[in-house]
Amino acid sequence: MYAASGVLTVHTERGTSIVPANRVGWTPAGFSHYHRAHGDTDMRILFLPATLARLLPDRPAVFAVSALTRELLLTLTGPRSYDSETPDANSARLRRALVDELPEVQEQPLQLPEPQDDRLQALARFLYEQPADNTSLAELGQTIGASARTLSRLLHNEFGMTFYEWRTQLRIYHALLLLAEGHDTTYVAHACGWSNPSSFITAFSTVIGTTPGRYRKT
């Protein structure tokens, strides 16, 4: 699934993949999923045969897009209908080139894993609904009924993340949706919990690889 523009979210039992403009969201066979477009989105969907799909990760993933990857995707999903059920030899070669290219580009940290523990689920609900809230983990734990140490251990065990890393990723998710709706950088920074636009730009650039302003122009 490719977002030529806009933002896509892909939801599976593993969690949510955020697919901003010029990124590829990969969902292997066997994963029940649904997707949603945010803002003015140009969405392209490409199916791969099992012989090629097994060369990609066996879990949902998001990849950056090189210039070559972009052209391959646009060609395969263009008006010539390369994505038919019986692809011709040229289509097969393009698909193979795409699968060869994807592992060469950077996998993006744009996965919001689905919590399994009840306490983490309660924490996730709060942060999804109030991404700008800066309440400490210890204070949130008092509301949930778990210590900060327990929540930190659960986050590490389930996600391999610290609370700060997880909350930052969740805030970037909300920021992408707000940018897709046309909001400016200052509004998005404050709506997602950053104290000033500069700190938001730094965090956004670290995760997405470009500034919010440049991202909006893609």
Please, what are the averages of pLDDT over each run of 10 residues along the chain (218 residues)? 87 87 89 86 89 91 88 84 59 90 79 89 92 93 93 94 92 90 92 95 90 80
Q: What's the confidence (pLDDT) of residue 96?
A: 93
List the beta bridge partners of residue 5: 42
In a domain, 200, yes or no: yes
Residue 218: predicted pLDDT? 65
Give residue 21's domain range. Answer: 2-104
pTM for this prediction: 0.77
DSSP string, 98-126: HHHHGGGSPBP--EEEPP-SHHHHHHHHH
Measuring CA to CA, which residue among 114, 110, 125, 97 is closest to residue 31? 114
150 with 129, same domain: the answer is yes
User: Do 129 and 179 have their domain in common?
Assistant: yes
C-alpha to C-alpha distance for 154 and 93, rounded to whole angstroms? 45
Residues 65 and 92 in one domain: yes
Scan for tokens 């592992």, then name that residue. Answer: 103
Last residue of a domain, one of 70, 104, 138: 104
pLDDT of residue 92: 87
Same domain, 36 and 91: yes
- 109 in a structural domain: no
CA angle (206, 211, 217) in 5-degree steps? 140
As for how many domains the chain has, the answer is 2
